[in-house]
Amino acid sequence: MLKTFIARNLQREKIAVPVVILFLVLLAYGLLILSMGFYWDDWPFAWLLRFFGPSDFIEAFRPYRPLLGPIFAVTTTLFGGNPVAWQVIGLLTRFLLSLEVWFVFRLTWPAQKWNSLWVVFLFSVFPGYRQQWVALTHVNQELIPLLFLLASFAVTVYAIRSQRNRTALTVLALLLQVLGLFSTEYFFGLEILRFFLLVFIFYETFPEWKSALRKAGVSWLPYLIVWILNAAWTFAYHRSAAYNSYDITALSGPSMSLPGIGNEIINTFSLSAFTSWLEAFQPFAIIDGSLTQFVALSVLVVSGLVIFMFMRSKVAGLANLETAQSNTWSWQAMLMGLVGIFAGRLPSWAAGLPLKLEFDYDRFMLSIMLGASLFIVGLATFVLKDGKRKIVILSFLIGLSTAFQFTVANTFRRDWANQQDFFWQLAWRMPGLKKDTVLLTSELPLKYVSDLQVTAPLNWMYAPNLTERNMPYALLYIKTRFNSLLLPSLQPNEPVTFQYRTVPFLSSTSNAVVIYKDADGCLRVLDPVYGNAETVPGASYFLLNAIPLSDTRRIQADAPQPEMDKTLFGGEPEHGWCYFYEKAELARQQLDWEQVTKLYNQAQKNELSPSVPVENLVFIEAFANTGDADTALKLTDQTIKAQEILCPAIYTLWDRVLQSASAQSLNASAINQHIEESGCKR
């Protein structure tokens, strides 16, 4: 009975279509959300919310998008700052966006409802936009404004089709338009699509294009006025003293030259209309047999088959009815798709920002994906007509795109795990930090956050009870921030000051600790004695020149380990090699060589070994200083054999040991000869 009930209801379009859309959204974006967290600007926003409350967003967005702050304030008041909660909200928002597109196109082209549905499915999993999981940021900053704008489109076309309560509906559509356009400039260009929707609707009644255009222009006039007001307000605000973000740069410089414009047109069209879709093949370019690839293949097969069976069952009986008008529709879809692509690109182009299929520039694809989906379905309809070939190819493309989004989701999952791992290593190595400390590094092996974003969890970790409006800690990428207001130089006593949304940070380069972490190794604290330039061969000029600033006295070795919020940092991981290494470095900072050797012996007992050869150095020195020269030389040999480039660091270490009081029993010439015979030449 239940099976019959479900089957009967799935035959009803109003139930079946939302179910299939939700199924796609869950497969593409939802399979891993319990393992997702905060990324990019999520961290600063979550930190502001936790320590200063939702109302702080009003002031935080005043210099950027003053009407966006209230959206953040309302949603964070309602939903709080739990990362998984925001992932769920992101899924629901994406689902609602697809429903809105379906509603708009279903009313605009009632005779082409299945072609419209192809657009909706592709829009739902568009592979060019890959930031769905930056949920707290993008739900508020872009997806909610887009919800408003598409809702405005939906009310407009409904008002035209129904002819009832048209005035009231127009007022509602104008209000939604204001909410969609004035809160962010992302979707400014998309307003032109409303005009095309009206043209295509009126073309059914007025088959002459001139009459349809005139009728559409009259109906669009109120929205055009709001659009012009939005353009004037945006331009005026960007020119005002209150604004402090991206400038409008497209009106000057090489981007306005004919070659510049031509290059932009080609790049935007190729990336949006073709390359984005071709990228969906990427997870299967090389068969590696990984679990990720196996799951992605399963997602491809399941989603592709579901769409194929659903569309074949629906389209089969109606193909002849739609085919007669499909050729006209395909031209309309391609035209509107091209307009949507370039209109969606307009705001980011005006700000001089590049369009790329890489983080974080792929966020600009959000305003383009509707046009790109329209164009590809219009092109497929024109080339393949309506029939089995089209169903197979588009179903396969939807399956590929769904699988691609899953593989991107997995990179976000890994990055969240890497973030948590980094902060736990930081907690083990630095139980406490003096206030106003600046952590300097070249770059961390984290893909979806950078230095200023990591600054938020750093403060959350070391100042969990912050009440004053003054940020106590900062983390800066030296190469990115060097020679700027944030990091004027690498000389001592240079001011390091910046405004973190509404909270200032005030310190200097003399309060710095330099850290380093590559993808394979553990977190390291660099300093002029134990972690000098010889221990990071091949490091950047910027990192090497920052090492003299590193003051390990700012690390409070005797402080209790920070209490880590499990929602953000997870539970304490199993004590692997990096735990023992971080604790050994902390013990070395206190010159507790006995403790360092105990930690090494415990790691050996647990069958753990260094991640990279340089991590042996602390243990070599510890065994040498405690009289166990044999173990020290054994580790020296292993290090030289694994990474001969560390020879200068080996000699410096042993020179330091041999000059210490604890080295009286060591034979300096024999040790130097042993090192030389192991392959190190001075």
With H, G, I as helix, E, B as strand and everything else as coil, classify residue 568. Answer: helix
- What's the distance, Cα to Cα, between the start and end of the chain in Å? 84
Q: Is the pLDDT of residue 475 over 80?
A: yes
Q: What pLDDT does residue 677 have?
A: 84
User: What is the overall mean pLDDT for the chain?
Assistant: 91
> Rounded distance, CA 495 to CA 548, Å?
16
Position of tokens 């006039």? 221
At 671, the pLDDT band (50, 70, 90 cuts) reads confident
Give residue-wise pLDDT tens across range 334-386: 999 999 999 999 998 988 889 999 998 999 999 999 999 999 999 999 998 87
Q: Is the pLDDT of residue 254 over 80?
A: no
Q: What pLDDT does residue 1 have?
A: 46
Give residue-wise pLDDT tens across range 563-617: 999 999 999 999 999 999 999 999 999 999 999 999 999 999 999 999 899 999 9
Q: What pLDDT does residue 660 have?
A: 80
Q: What pLDDT does residue 416 have?
A: 97
Question: Model's pTM, two decimal places?
Answer: 0.93
Q: What pLDDT does residue 239 have?
A: 79
> Rounded distance, CA 133 to CA 410, Å?
10
For the ranges 155-164, 598-607, 617-626, the lowest mean pLDDT is seen at 155-164
Q: Is the pLDDT of residue 460 over 50?
A: yes
Smallest CA-to-CA distance from 406 within 290, 322, 283 is with: 283
For the ranges 68-82, 156-170, 442-456, 503-517, the lowest mean pLDDT is seen at 156-170
At 208, the pLDDT band (50, 70, 90 cuts) reads confident
Average pLDDT of 389-406?
96
Q: Is the pLDDT of residue 476 over 90?
A: yes
Q: What pLDDT does residue 5 have?
A: 47
Q: What pLDDT does residue 517 have?
A: 94
> Rounded distance, CA 583 to CA 519, Å?
20
Q: Is the pLDDT of residue 6 over 50?
A: no
> Rounded distance, CA 334 to CA 126, Å?
17
Give residue-wise pLDDT tens across range 68-126: 999 999 999 999 999 999 999 999 999 999 999 999 999 999 988 889 999 999 999 99
> Rounded distance, CA 410 to CA 546, Å?
35
Q: Is 40 left (phi over 0), alpha (psi -120 to 50) or beta?
A: left
For the ranges 426-435, 471-480, 498-507, 664-673, the lowest mean pLDDT is seen at 664-673
CATH number assigned to the domain covering 575-682: 1.25.40
> Rounded distance, CA 125 to CA 123, Å?
6
Give residue-wise pLDDT tens across range 258-304: 877 888 899 999 999 999 999 999 999 888 888 999 999 999 999 99
User: What CA–CA distances, in Å, run from 379 to 110, 330, 341?
Assistant: 19, 7, 14
Q: What percent of the chain has pLDDT over 70?
A: 94
78 close to 92: Cβ distance less than 8 angstroms: no
> Rounded distance, CA 444 to CA 37, Å?
18
Give residue-wise pLDDT tens across range 542-552: 999 999 999 99
Smallest CA-to-CA distance from 100 within 165, 203, 197, 32 is with: 197
Q: Is the pLDDT of residue 247 over 80?
A: no
Residue type, 599: L
Q: What pLDDT does residue 371 have?
A: 96
Q: What pLDDT does residue 3 have?
A: 47
Q: What pLDDT does residue 385 have?
A: 82
Other C-beta atoms closer than 10 Å to the C-beta of 379 total: 16
Name the more confident of 678 and 256: 678
- Show me where the domains of the chain are located: 13-413, 430-573, 575-682
Give residue-wise pLDDT tens across range 316-328: 555 454 555 677 8
Q: Is the pLDDT of residue 257 over 50?
A: yes
Q: Is the pLDDT of residue 448 over 90?
A: yes
Beta strands (DSSP E) in 126-172 are: none
For the ranges 222-226, 246-250, 309-313, 490-494, the lowest mean pLDDT is seen at 246-250
Q: 354 is written with which tokens?
A: 């590049």
Other C-beta atoms closer than 10 Å to the C-beta of 605 total: 8
> Rounded distance, CA 193 to CA 115, Å?
18
> Rounded distance, CA 257 to CA 521, Å?
48
Q: What percent of the chain has pLDDT over 90?
A: 76
